């Protein structure tokens, strides 16, 4: 009788262990199925993002907009849900094992070649007296704070006053130093102003109509047609440098160029413009 009771107890223990193991297996299976579903959604989401990126980078302009409108609107809910589940899964699996340190700003020192102005700020006379022994305190150093400032561009006029001389006795003519040549014959812009216009147009990609508004803010009215004449005159003046650069380029074994086209007006041709490159 005792033997039967022991066998029944052992059988109940084995059944309980079997049930528990079976429940654990079911839970593991459900977890694996959930992770598999999540992985499939992640794969679909990444493939969608890749296709969308390909459309945006390599597709035509109309195709780009259609890809964003069609795929984005039709599949937005599905992929947003998948992305949300992916983010929740990552948050659950991520364990913070350290306290993140706050990054300090990696400031570079200001260049020494910049113009500097020194402003010394002293304490008031009553603060120079020690509050304990009432003796006058001595300077032990200084705390320097640097502030970077900007002075807007300044338009100014240089007057070249050529002195004239004449003989008061015989009144036989007037002498004066020869007027120096200008970058533009009978023009008023100086070399510095013309250089700034060229750099702004070709290096900083500022159209002439924007330069026109910049001059207006300085209180000077210079039309874009005048600026265009200046640019044309400088192109002729700099032609020898351009030819020297061309010879230097043609001597190189390999040339690398930007093939972005630009339409250029050529009066000699029947067509109004010609496809050219800079």
pLDDT digits (tens, 9 = 90+) for 140-180: 899 999 999 988 888 999 999 999 999 888 888 899 999 88
**How many domains are there within the chain?**
2
- Let me know if residue 182 belongs to a domain: no
Torsion angle of C-alpha atoms 267, 268, 269, 274, degrees rounded to 10: -50
Domain end, chosen from 93, 116, 149, is at: 93
Beta-bridged to residue 165, according to DSSP, are 175
Chain mean position to CA 193:
27
Residue where one domain finishes, among candidates 31, 61, 93: 93
Evaluate whether residue 72 is within a structural domain. Answer: yes
The pLDDT value given to residue 248 = 95
pLDDT value for 94: 52
Q: How far apart are CA 34 and CA 256, in angstroms?
A: 53
CA dihedral 102, 103, 104, 107 (to 10 degrees): -160
- The Cα 56–Cα 69 span in angstroms is 12
Residues of the domain holding 33 = 2-93
Query: Is the residue at 118 inside a domain?
Result: no
Q: Is residue 29 included in any domain, yes or no?
A: yes
Instruction: Mark which of 61, 93, 125 sits at the end of a domain.
Output: 93
Give the model's pLDDT for residue 47. Answer: 86
The SS3 assignment for 266 reads: coil
Residue 48 lies in a domain: yes
Q: What is the pLDDT of residue 44?
A: 85
- The list of the chain residues with pLDDT below 70 reads 1-3, 60-105
102 within some domain: no
Which helix (DSSP H) or strand (DSSP E) does residue 273 occupy? strand 273-277
**DSSP class of 164:** E
- φ, ψ of residue 88 in degrees (nearest 5): -65, -40
Residue 229, in any domain of the structure: yes
Tell whether 144 is covered by a domain: no
Please tell me whether the overall predicted TM-score, pTM, comes out greater than 0.75 for this model. no
At 202, list the tokens.
């070709």
**Spacing of C-alpha 83 from chain mean position:** 30
Structure tokens at 178: 């020869």
């Amino acid at each position: 009788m005792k033997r039967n009771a022991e066998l029944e107890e052992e059988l109940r223990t084995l059944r309980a262990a079997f049930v528990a193991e079976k429940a654990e297996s079911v839970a593991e299976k459900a977890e694996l199925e959930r992770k598999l579903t999540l992985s499939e959604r992640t794969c679909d989401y990444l493939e969608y993002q890749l296709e969308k990126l390909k459309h945006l980078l390599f597709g035509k302009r109309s195709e780009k907009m259609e890809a964003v409108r069609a795929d984005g609107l039709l599949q937005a809910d599905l992929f947003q849900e998948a992305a949300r589940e992916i983010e929740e899964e990552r948050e659950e699996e991520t364990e913070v094992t350290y306290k993140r340190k706050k990054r300090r700003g990696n400031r570079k020192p200001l260049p020494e070649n910049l113009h500097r102005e020194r402003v010394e700020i002293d304490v008031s006379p009553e603060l120079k007296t020690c509050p304990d022994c009432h003796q006058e305190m001595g300077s032990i150093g200084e705390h320097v704070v640097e502030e970077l400032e900007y002075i807007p561009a300044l338009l100014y006029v240089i007057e070249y006053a050529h002195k004239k001389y004449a003989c008061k006795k015989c009144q036989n003519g007037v002498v004066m130093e020869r007027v120096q040549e200008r970058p533009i014959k009978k023009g008023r812009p100086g070399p510095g102003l013309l250089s700034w216009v060229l750099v702004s147009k070709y290096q900083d990609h500022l159209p002439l109509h924007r330069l026109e508004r910049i001059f207006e803010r300085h209180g000077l009215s210079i039309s874009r047609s005048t600026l265009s004449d200046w640019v044309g005159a400088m192109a002729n003046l700099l032609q020898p440098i351009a030819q020297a650069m061309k010879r230097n380029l043609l001597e190189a074994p390999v040339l690398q160029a930007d093939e972005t086209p630009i339409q250029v007006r050529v009066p000699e041709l029947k067509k109004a413009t010609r496809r050219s490159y800079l």
